[in-house]
Chains A and B, each alone.
Chain A
Amino acid sequence: MEHYWQEISALTMRWVRRLSREKFSMLFTLVQPMLFWLIFFGNLFQRAADTQVMQAPNYISFLAAGVVIMTVLNNGLAGGVDLLFDKENGFLERLMSTPIHRTSVILSRFIFVMAITSMQVLVILGVSYLFGVHPATGILGVATILLIGMMFGVGLTAISMAMAFSVKSHGDFFSVLGFLSLPMIFLSSALVPLTAMPGWMSFLAQFNPMTWAIDAVRPLILSGWTEALPHVGMVILVMLVFDALCLYGGAKAFRRAMG
């Protein structure tokens, strides 16, 4: 157990070091493009969006929940990239030839991705606050938002790692990634509520775990606990199933790749 902890903290420290060495990438990790979605989209569509349809005082407060979960999506789906590079340049092999627990590398990656994601979510909620979006459920609500984000993020990171371990080249990885993320966003309630979507889109969006996450985060920001609680309960169930499926797939891919 003590060994396990020693391994995981050293491996997590490596991810932190790598990030801190890449000054540029560190800057863009904190001030990420998602923030522009919030600021530009949020303000741009202020007039175009119908607050009646949105069920929100303004578009930016509607969009905040979507941007939070989109951040989780992007981070999660990209969470396996560094392992992909480690696999390709042999570093992973070097790590796995040491007497570490077989799960240490993966766990360290989860911890790192979750920590970064949480920070970004907090930055987004902070910036929203500056634009007058004050979470209706307070600090506890913010904690719940983080919890939902983490639960969604774990599954996504597992998918990303599974892909990293299975693809033949990193070209494949990035094409699948690009292919996956946009439909995930548009076929969800991130930008418009399901009720405002064409029928076929809202039908598909119901099966998107992202929709469930956003539908729980949004009332936590806009309405209050009574409105939010049923959604929160539901999303926790959905995410448990989602995570279980993703982790199962990830474990399989990992075992196949690591002998």
Chain B
Amino acid sequence: MDRTIAINVNRLCKTYDSHKAVDDLSFSIYAGEIFGLLGPNGAGKSTTLRTLITLLHPTSGTATVMGHDTVREADTVRTLIGYVPQERAIDRFLTGREHLQLLGALYHLTTDEATKRINELLKLVDLEDHADRPAKTYSGGMKRKLDIACGLLPNPKILFLDEPTLGLDVQSRLRIWEYVRMLKARGMTVVMTTNYLDEADQLCDRLAIIDGGKIKTLGSPVELKIALGGDIVSLTLKELDRIPSLETELKGRPAIKSVRTTTKGLDIRVESPEKALPAILEATNRLGCSIEFIQYNRPRLDDVFIAHTGRAITESIPETESAS
């Protein structure tokens, strides 16, 4: 498939003192997709993002945004992007509207342009009724919405979101997912980081799993799961003595990758359930095995993460608070 590349990262390294926060990253992000960087705390997600938005200079390697180098053409890059930092970057003494007005001036909008856009955005993120209250009276979810409105104010080609739903309640998370999907529908490219597996799974078109500053694997959630070696069909049989014969019967069939005996039946790894299930059922019928229980599991993104990093994302030892 021929797609426009929005961002290109080439052998990017960022070293703090002697600590490699980002270690030789190379990847591309396509225009119009939602791209996710998934990894535990301290993996190097924010560092990568900060490089892309021109706030950090790489120790070595390069990054381009819409073809513009993030160091040499930083000014051009800044006019193309919107950024929503990981921290609630809110001035508690300013009202929501004043935040947006300030940014309007920093993006050099005229007062009329700014007013129009600010009203649209306040409506979009549902903050119209609270726009003229100081931000210190906002809830966590409202602050995050204001954050996102700030990121959208320049009407950017690419929006960068650093852990957009960190610490939010379920309701607010779903709202934010909704916004992100809507932005994609409008043609915006969205680059986000997250350490929530479900978020990466449900929201991202493609994602890179990053750990210890390195990309462990990259692809669409579906691709990554398939690459693990397919879905698993678990059979529990009534007659346990039939297990070996069923195993021989199933082994080597086209849609079936591997068969493993368990205490009560078989775990069958299949390429696609559509093809494998009829074959399995046909075989059990022919051998006269009666099935007590059949269970079908797709590999989850958790499995992908464990397979590539050797541990679950929640097991990671968080680095010091201030550095995350």
Contact = CB atoms under 8 A, between A and B. Distances in A.
Most A CB contacts (10 A, CB to CB) among B78, B86, B87, B91 go to B91
B164 interface: no
B106 A89 contact: no
Contact of A99 (B98, B107, B134, B150): B107
A89 B93 contact: no
B103 A91 contact: no
B143 to A, nearest CB: 11
Interface string B219-231: 0000000000000
Interface residues of A, number: 28
A7 B102 CA distance: 8
Nearest to A7: B106
Q: Looking at chain B, what size class is its interface with the partner chain?
A: 20 to 34
Interface stretch (A10-18, A67-75, A110-118, A144-152): A10-18
B56 interface: yes
A94 B150 contact: yes
B53 A97 contact: yes
A259 B108 contact: no
Interface string B265-297: 000000000000000000000000000000000
Nearest to B134: A21
A6 B322 contact: no
A31 interface: no
B108 A97 contact: no
B85 A94 contact: yes
Nearest to B58: A259
Contact of A97 (B55, B98, B134): B55
A95 interface: yes
7 contacts: A10-B105, A11-B102, A21-B93, A91-B89, A97-B54, A99-B106, A169-B322
For the complex of A and B, list the 6 residue pairs with the smallest distance between their C-beta atoms, beginning with the closest: A10-B105, A90-B87, A90-B89, A99-B78, A90-B85, A21-B93
